[in-house]
Amino acid sequence: MKFGDKLHIGRRVAGRAGRVARRIVTAPGAALSSLRAPVPERLLIAPQDLRTTDASIASEIYSGYFALAGRVVNLRGASPFEAAAPSPGWARALASFGWLRHLRAADTALARANARALVDDFLSHSEKPDRTPAWEVRVAVRRMLSFLSQSPIILENADRAFYRRFMRALMRLQYFLERQIAVGAVRGEERLFAAISLAELGLCAKVGNNFQRRSTRLLAEELSRQIRPDGGHASRSADTLIRLLLDLLPLRQAYAARSLPPPPELLNAIDRMLPMLRLLRHGDGSIALFNGMGVTPVDVLTTVLAYEDPRAKPMFNAPYTGYQRVEASDSILIVDTGRPPPPEFSTRAHAGTLSFEFSIGPQRLIVNCGAPDSELSPARGAARATAAHSTLVVDDTSSSHFASGKGLEKWLGGEIISGPRQVAVERLNQPGATRLVMAHDGYRAQFDVLHERRLTLSADGLRLDGEDRLKSVAAKPRTYPFAIRFHVHPSVQLHSVLEGEAALLDLPDGTRWILSTQEAPIEIEESIFFAAPDGPRASQQLVIYRSAADPPHVAWTLRALGHENRDDAAFEDG
């Protein structure tokens, strides 16, 4: 590890330790302030929950089966809040109460009584802040939003004592989150989600105007800080955008329901975020696999995008977030052209600078590996590496470095500690094609080289030409081995042809593409695709290797067969 990386880690750990110390010192005061907090008399509105519901899950919950975070627990008559959690993710999902929406969807007296009983049971076990997963900030935020949106099913026919207890629980959540924000314990995207939950409470409950103004001001500040001018989030994660919109859209409706003007920052953010999601979307409806994106929740994404203004212009260039989109006929090329996010937003970011994905209509061809489920922690590091992306890799080294290891993971959560500082991109609209000319310096510190990449998509979408080069910036240039990787979607079948000088790619609809280069053989290797709805799937990748003795330059072509006359018959015959 280089000295600069060690220095950065030292500063980040020291900052985190200081925040923990402040939290310990102020914790007693926070507990006392929550006890003195005035409890509002009632809720005024219940915001909409845009997440998908399934009424059949209500009967499973009533029967004692809780299927959460990929694990199923049969309670056998016991309280779910006393059961041994099979995983931390299960415990967090339970205490987040997102599953209440399924009980509301059932719309039966039994479901309503069950919802109220389960909430009452939780308040008996975990009403006050403690060190369990139930009182992690992200879990507390989700519980606040779930309690507010599902309050009709929780409070229907409730007696006054339970109603007061429920309102007191909301106030405890309010003071807990405000205190965590005040002492700096809430960072990154969690701070924006916390601001959303507090603003929603200020609209839904009959609270003082001071709190309502304070929460709206915090929301506006965080939106201004975290949502970039082109609509991307500071984390550069499309998954974060989707989750934010699921909460921001109901919040906008809540302001309207209370006849209160929403902050301009809220309206502007939503208007910018929706086109940004479109930029990252393939023809099959899935989101490109960059920076923590895994399985696309197609139903949720469709719901969110339905709120987009139909008059909004499509976006192809996101210079502030760092993505480019090129469309030609049915072909879509999406490229990561951004620097790593700021450290506090980088815990899920990947080392995929200048990687690309390519799709034709509803078929994805070239992809990245994507992000595994959060429970699959051993695979998380591998999925973030440059080698898990369709780009050039120098000496099997990632272009960004992560704070890994048990100790650093605890303190820094896998933040990026170094990576590209300069990423250049130029978009050229040429006769018959669109070209992206790009470069990044992520390998400069270790290898004294820059990665330069050119991608040119023909106007008919049937040919993608690429050129990758390592440019030395050292006084005494050296050469390093590198590999150019093309991860292929699991639905595509690969065949080596022309004695390894090219590879055929058979798509599900029967069309065929070919990757070829005159620079080196093309190898077919194993890969893994983390973004399949049914879990990780084995896949393949095409790799062009260059040794240290070879020129640091490779030109390659990916094109559709059957549309040109040059040697297509030979390729079709294999």
Question: HEC string of 133-160?
Answer: HHHCHHHHHHHHHHHHHCHHHHHCCCCH
Asked if residue 338 is part of any domain, the answer here is: no
213, 106: one domain: no
Contact 493, 506 (CB under 8 A): yes
363, 498: one domain: yes
515, 560: one domain: yes
pLDDT digit string, tens, across residues 288-332:
999 999 999 999 999 999 999 888 888 999 999 999 999 999 999
282, 399: one domain: no
132, 221: one domain: no
229, 301: one domain: yes
Asked if residue 513 is part of any domain, the answer here is: yes
Secondary structure (3-state) at 331: strand
**Which of the residue ranges 31-45, 121-135, 240-254, 471-485 would you say has the lowest mean pLDDT?**
31-45
Q: In this structure, is the dihedral angle defined by the CA atoms of residues 320, 324, 327 and 328, taken in order, positive or negative?
A: positive
293, 425: one domain: no
Take residue 188 and report the two structure tokens written for it: 């990154």
pLDDT at 3: 47
Residue position matching structure tokens 């309502």: 212
Q: What is the dihedral of CA 221, 217, 179, 46, to 10 degrees?
A: -110
308, 386: one domain: no
pLDDT at 404: 74
Which whole number is the average pLDDT over 244-250? Answer: 98
34, 171: one domain: yes
Contact 334, 389 (CB under 8 A): no
Task: Label residue 514 by pLDDT band (50, 70, 90).
Answer: very high
418, 534: one domain: yes
Residue position matching structure tokens 């890799």: 393
Contact 279, 252 (CB under 8 A): no
Task: Label residue 34 by pLDDT band (50, 70, 90).
Answer: very low
Task: Label residue 548 by pLDDT band (50, 70, 90).
Answer: confident
> What would the DSSP string read from start to end of 340-364?
PPPGGG-TT--S-TT-EEEEETTEE
pLDDT digit string, tens, across residues 194-246:
999 999 999 999 887 889 999 999 999 999 999 999 999 999 999 999 999 99
The overall average pLDDT reported for the chain is: 90
pLDDT digit string, tens, across residues 377-420:
689 999 999 999 999 999 999 999 998 765 555 656 789 999 99
Asked if residue 251 is part of any domain, the answer here is: yes
Take residue 61 and report the two structure tokens written for it: 């919950």
pLDDT digit string, tens, across residues 138-182:
999 999 999 999 999 999 999 999 999 999 999 999 999 999 999
For 201, what's the count of Cα atoms within 13 Å in the CB-facing half-sphere? 33
CATH code assigned at 420: 2.70.98.70
Task: Label residue 567 by pLDDT band (50, 70, 90).
Answer: low
Domain count, the chain: 3
Asked if residue 480 is part of any domain, the answer here is: yes
Residue 562 to residue 569: CA distance in whole angstroms: 8
pLDDT at 8: 53
563, 475: one domain: yes
Query: In terms of pLDDT, which residue wins out, 8 or 490?
Result: 490
What is the pTM (predicted TM-score) of this model?
A: 0.91
Inform me whether the pLDDT recorded for 475 exceeds 90: no
Asked if residue 196 is part of any domain, the answer here is: yes
Domain end residue (candidates: 267, 287, 316): 316
Domain end residue (candidates: 184, 204, 222): 184
Residues of the domain holding 180? 23-184
Q: In this structure, is the dihedral angle defined by the CA atoms of residues 204, 210, 213 and 217, taken in order, positive or negative?
A: negative
Domain end residue (candidates: 162, 184, 206): 184
538, 412: one domain: yes
Task: Label residue 373 by pLDDT band (50, 70, 90).
Answer: confident
pLDDT at 16: 53
Asked if residue 324 is part of any domain, the answer here is: no
Asked if residue 332 is part of any domain, the answer here is: no
pLDDT digit string, tens, across residues 100-148:
999 999 999 999 999 999 999 999 999 889 999 999 999 999 999 999 9
Inform me whether the pLDDT recorded for 570 exceeds 60: no
pLDDT at 32: 42
Residue 212 to residue 208: CA distance in whole angstroms: 7
pLDDT at 151: 97
pLDDT at 385: 97
Asked if residue 61 is part of any domain, the answer here is: yes
Which whole number is the average pLDDT over 92-101? Answer: 97
pLDDT at 321: 98
